[in-house]
């Protein structure tokens, strides 16, 4: 491989430090900013170009706004309107960000791609496979969002921040006088931009979610909801209904346009079914395996056993009941600090 590398640059501190670290290691770095939101991204693209210029590296911008809208925004709005809870960052990495970066690498004669994700590449030469290892900074680990990376992508991907903590990265940036050294991390989903999910879907897609019935676990009507898109699994606040005891959203059924409310102790599942499984550390799941499973990025792992099912589905059985499993989210599985793979949750199985 040659020493030319494409670095995905957003203008934030993580991608900036990634680019500078690689330049200091002797790579010929080209910063690439993906213009995902059309003209709404102009300021970010200009800022990233300024950062690249301050580092003394080439910078390019690629417009992928149509691909992003089709594969991320449209998909998010559709699935959320169907009562699911999709994860747009996983879809973006899988369908937009990494395909576009590797396309740019090929067009610019670069053999490698790098990003500022918090994870490390692990190569298992004995079995000829690559996977990811959790980041040294567990609070920043992003392997959950990367489980769909292909073997080709993993073989040519460089992740310099995997062995560093956030504080080490900020210290490095301060020592080198980087202009964005104190820039705060982005927290929102990029296309939401301060809105709630329901407002985004109404604003962008003129979709009105009709009111319907709140029901209890026995199907008895207990009130009226304001539309499925206004609720998420596990939600307690903002229901607009008083039932004499704390109640939580357990299910959203588009077919009947009902939202099921239950007390906290009815919010737990003993197992889940997931589809579209993708494995990195192994070629396929052909036997049950003990894993640590995460059903949301912000949740701790739960001990579980994963079983292969038909048609690319898996069944994850938890050692202890698991709270508020949301269809549409990802279940991502680990063995120790190694990423095993993940899948999209179809449903939980109540205790």
Tell whether the model's pLDDT for residue 309 goes beyond 80.
yes
Averaged pLDDT score across all residues of the chain:
94
Regarding whether 101 and 65 lie in a shared domain, the answer is yes
Query: Is the domain of 244 the same as that of 272?
Result: no
Measured at the CA of 59, the angle between CA 187 and CA 10, to 5 degrees, comes to 0
Q: pLDDT category, 293, cuts 50, 70, 90? A: very high
Which DSSP symbol is given to 300? P
Strand duo 221-225 + 302-308: pairing: unpaired
Q: Among residues of the chain, what percentage have pLDDT more than 90?
A: 88
Is 92 labeled as catalytic in the residue annotation?
yes
The token pair at 274 is: 């997931």
In the chain, the number of structural domains is: 3
Sign of the alpha-carbon dihedral angle for 15, 20, 22, 23: positive
Asked if the model's pLDDT at residue 172 lies above 70, the reply is yes
Indicate whether 224 and 94 sit together in one domain. no
The reply to whether 59 falls in a domain is yes
Residue 120's pLDDT is 98
Please, which contacts does 305-308 make with residues 24 or more away whose CB atoms are closer than 8 Å?
306/333, 306/340, 308/284
pLDDT score at 274: 98
pLDDT band at 351 (very low <50, low <70, confident <90, very high): low
Shared domain check, 215 and 231: yes
Q: Which of 249, 266, 283 is the last residue before a domain boundary?
A: 266
Say if 196 falls within a structural domain: no
Angle at 235 between CA 230 and CA 241, to 5 degrees: 75
Give the span between the Cα atoms of 227 and 146, in whole angstroms: 32
Beta strand residue intervals within 159-247, DSSP E:
212-215, 221-225
Note whether residue 286 is domain-resident: yes
**Lowest mean pLDDT: which of 108-117, 173-182, 250-259, 331-340?**
173-182
Helix (H, G, I), strand (E, B) or coil at 4: strand
Contacts of 132 by beta carbon, 8 Å cutoff, 6+ apart:
119, 120, 121, 122, 143, 146, 147, 149, 154, 280, 338, 339
Catalytic residue among 92, 110, 217, 278: 92
- Residue 197 falls within a domain, yes or no? no
pLDDT above 90 (res 182): no
Q: Which residues contact 299 (CB under 8 A, 6 or more apart)?
A: none
Is 195 part of a structural domain of the chain? no
What separation in angstroms does the CA of 233 have from each of 250, 267, 328, 344?
Answer: 5, 9, 11, 15
The verdict on 256 and 124 lying in the same domain is: no
pLDDT band at 180 (very low <50, low <70, confident <90, very high): confident
| Residue 28 host element (H or E) | strand 28-35
Which structural domain, as residue segments, surrounds residue 260? Answer: 209-266
Q: What is the DSSP letter of 311?
A: G
Q: With both helix axes pointing from N to C terminus, report the angle between 74-81 and 197-205 in degrees, rounded to the nearest 10.
A: 110
As a whole number of angstroms, the distance between CA 165 and CA 135 comes to 8
Tokens of 298: 């912000």
- What mean pLDDT is predicted for residues 342-347? 97
Calculate mean pLDDT across residues 79-93: 95
52: CB partners within 8 A, 6+ apart: 9, 19, 31, 58, 59
Distance from C-alpha of 110 to C-alpha of 213, rounded to nearest angstrom: 56
Confidence of residue 242 (pLDDT cuts 50, 70, 90): confident
Q: In whole angstroms, what is the distance from residue 51 CA to residue 31 CA?
A: 9
Asked if 281 and 235 sit in the same domain, the reply is no
One domain for residues 78 and 165: yes
**145 inside domain:** yes
Query: What is residue 105's predicted lDDT score, i.e. its pLDDT?
Result: 98
pLDDT category at 193 given cuts 50, 70, 90 is confident
The pLDDT tens digits of the residues spanning 29-57 come to 999 999 999 888 899 999 999 999 999 99
Is the same domain home to 84 and 120? Answer: yes
Based on the domain organization, do 11 and 80 belong to the same domain? yes
273/262 same-domain check: no
Instruction: Provide the pLDDT confidence category of residue 195 given band limits of 50, 70 and 90.
Output: confident
Based on the fold, state whether residues 26 and 152 are members of the same structural domain.
yes
Mean pLDDT (whole number) for 182-206: 86
**Residue 11: left (phi > 0), alpha (psi -120 to 50), or beta?**
left
Task: Looking at the structure, tell me whether residues 27 and 103 fall in a common domain.
Answer: yes
Catalytic residue chosen out of the listed positions 64, 190, 217, 278: 190
**Averaged pLDDT for residues 331-346:** 97
Look at residue 136 and tell me whether its pLDDT is greater than 90.
Answer: yes
In the numeric block, the tokens 């169907």 are attached to: 82
Cα 122 from Cα 304, distance rounded (Å)? 23
pLDDT above 90 for 276: yes
Q: What CATH number should be reported for the domain holding residue 344?
A: 2.40.30.10
Is 66 a member of any domain?
Answer: yes
Least confident piece of the model among 146-155, 189-198, 203-212: 189-198
The domain boundary, picked from 266, 284, 303, lies at 266
| Angstrom distance (rounded) from CA 141 to CA 143 | 6
Beta strands 157-158; 112-114: pairing state: parallel
Residue 34 lies in a domain: yes
Query: Does the pLDDT value for residue 350 go beyond 90?
Result: no
The percentage of the chain sitting over the pLDDT mark of 70, rounded to a whole number, equals: 99
pLDDT at residue 312, as a whole number: 84
What is the CATH classification number for the domain harbouring 214? 2.30.30.280
């Amino acid at each position: 491989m040659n020493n030319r590398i494409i670095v995905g640059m957003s203008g934030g501190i993580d991608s900036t430090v990634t680019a500078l670290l690689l330049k200091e290691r002797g790579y010929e770095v080209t910063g690439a900013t993906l213009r995902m939101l059309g003209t709404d991204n102009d300021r970010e693209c200009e800022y990233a170009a300024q950062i690249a210029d301050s580092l003394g590296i080439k910078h390019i911008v690629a417009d992928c706004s149509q691909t992003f809208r089709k594969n991320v925004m449209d998909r998010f709005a559709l699935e959320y309107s169907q009562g699911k809870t999709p994860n747009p960052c996983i879809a973006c990495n899988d369908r937009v960000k990494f395909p576009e970066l590797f396309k740019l690498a090929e067009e610019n004669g670069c053999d490698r791609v790098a990003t500022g994700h918090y994870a490390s590449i692990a190569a298992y030469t004995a079995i000829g496979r690559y996977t990811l290892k959790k980041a040294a900074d567990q609070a920043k680990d992003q392997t959950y969002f990367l489980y769909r990376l292909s073997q080709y992508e993993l073989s040519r991907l460089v992740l310099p921040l995997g062995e560093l903590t956030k504080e080490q990265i900020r210290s490095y940036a301060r020592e080198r006088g980087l202009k964005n050294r104190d820039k705060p991390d982005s927290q929102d989903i990029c296309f939401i931009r301060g809105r709630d999910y329901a407002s985004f879907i109404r604003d962008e897609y003129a979709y009105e979610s009709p009111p319907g019935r709140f029901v209890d676990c026995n199907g008895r009507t207990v009130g009226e909801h304001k539309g499925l898109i206004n609720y998420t699994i596990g939600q307690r606040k903002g229901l607009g209904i008083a039932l004499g005891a704390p109640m939580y959203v357990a299910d959203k059924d588009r077919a009947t346009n009902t939202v099921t409310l239950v007390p906290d102790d009815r919010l737990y599942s003993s197992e889940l079914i997931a589809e579209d499984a993708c494995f990195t550390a192994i070629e396929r799941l052909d036997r049950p395996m003990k894993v640590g499973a995460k059903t949301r990025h912000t949740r701790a792992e739960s001990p579980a056993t994963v079983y292969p099912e038909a048609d690319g589905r898996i069944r994850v059985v938890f050692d202890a009941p698991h709270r508020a499993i949301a269809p549409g989210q990802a279940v991502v599985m680990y063995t120790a600090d190694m990423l095993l793979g993940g899948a999209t949750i179809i449903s939980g199985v109540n205790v």
